[in-house]
Structure 1
């Protein structure tokens, strides 16, 4: 019987001669929130990139709902790669400064040829979900705060209603009220869609509040 969930199965990863992960297992079940904790350099962000199909492991593999995934990025079929979404720590590093917030949210839909009327409707729906007003949607990243830009990134990550959402230190650069809002939006999405969530953080207290269980990386 296949086990539903997003899983890293004995994955290893290196940067040059530096081994970052060595035969590590991690499993996120549908509807579960898993915390990933560890010191800087322990491989937390690398694990997120492996699970998001952005980085190829040196060994082991990633599986989605029991099926191993071969390839990364656009080597993976759309229906498979859109099952996983990632929200990064720095919204400015994760966005194209030339795009408006509306275009940032719409970008994943346009990339797979979604009809324009559906793009507009879904963009407006998600902007409302994350608390972005219409005037903010016409602005570019330099004209909004980090919190507003991270809300747009969150909306973008939810575009395809992923089965699994990876939050890589996603609230670390935000003020307390925006942190709470992002967590609330993620929680509501999780409840409505039975999504599995991985929360990566240095903050053990945050993980204790948010996660169902916490995995430690040495």
Structure 2
């Protein structure tokens, strides 16, 4: 279970983006979080992914309360969550070739011996050929780079996946392909999924249930 209880979060002390947000995702469940741009849903997604410390509230992951954030989070919790962001060029190291980008989390966690096999498996799954794996981010399209970012998010076999507007910059065919990859992974691994977006039709077709932002955050402040 991924539980966010009474979360208040923002980026300036004393100026929260929202207050008292609550959200629960069960193991194996896919939940869509629907809301307009600027409402705070991406900030909540970062809290859920242990990338942003809330001002108040608790996050519980697999029955254990989260005590640390980003690099201070215990490795077992940090590696249990995979994240895909809206803009792949802001989340990809421009110096790395795509094969190194995908394998980076394995190397960072001392699992270099798994890199070749796992990168091969995931590049096939997301539709990246050998020619693309040898290129750097500036040499591929946004859709191709997002495929690599999704593969990177899955490389450690996370039990939870957070997709924050993952398909917002993609065409329909690439969107369908990446959603299929996520669903295949979720089915095979029993992973829980939080999908953040503003496309109601997509979320309702993709997810087991969709919750509206106004039903998650009790009080929203000015962004």
Return the alpha-carbon distance in structure 2 between the equivalents of residues 180 and 41 of structure 1: 25
- The structure 2 residue matched to 1:24, chosen from 16, 21, 25, is 21
State the match for 1:151 in structure 2.
147
Return the alpha-carbon distance in structure 1 between the equivalents of residues 184 and 33 of structure 2: 21
Return the alpha-carbon distance in structure 2 between the equivalents of residues 92 and 74 of structure 1: 22
1:82 positional shift: 0.8
TM-score for both structures, normalised by structure 2: 0.93
State the match for 1:13 in structure 2.
9
State the match for 1:125 in structure 2.
121
Question: 1:149-169: per-residue Cα shift (whole Å, max 9, x none)?
Answer: 000000000011111100000
Return the alpha-carbon distance in structure 2 between the equivalents of residues 94 and 31 of structure 1: 26
Question: 1:107-160: per-residue Cα shift (whole Å, max 9, x none)?
Answer: 111111113x31111111111111110111000011111111000000000011
Question: 1:162-188: per-residue Cα shift (whole Å, max 9, x none)?
Answer: 111000000010011000000000000
Return the alpha-carbon distance in structure 2 between the equivalents of residues 80 and 8 of structure 1: 15
Return the alpha-carbon distance in structure 1 between the equivalents of residues 38 and 3 of structure 2: 21
- The structure 1 residue matched to 2:86, chosen from 84, 89, 100, is 89
1:21 positional shift: 2.1
Paired residues, number: 213
1:62 corresponds to 2:59: yes
- The structure 2 residue matched to 1:172, chosen from 168, 175, 190, is 168
Runs of 4+ in 1 over 3 A off after TM superposition: none
Question: 1:174-213: per-residue Cα shift (whole Å, max 9, x none)?
Answer: 0110000000000000000111111111111111111111
Show structure 1 runs of 5+ residues with no match.
none
State the match for 1:187 in structure 2.
183
1:92 positional shift: 0.5
1:216 corresponds to 2:222: no
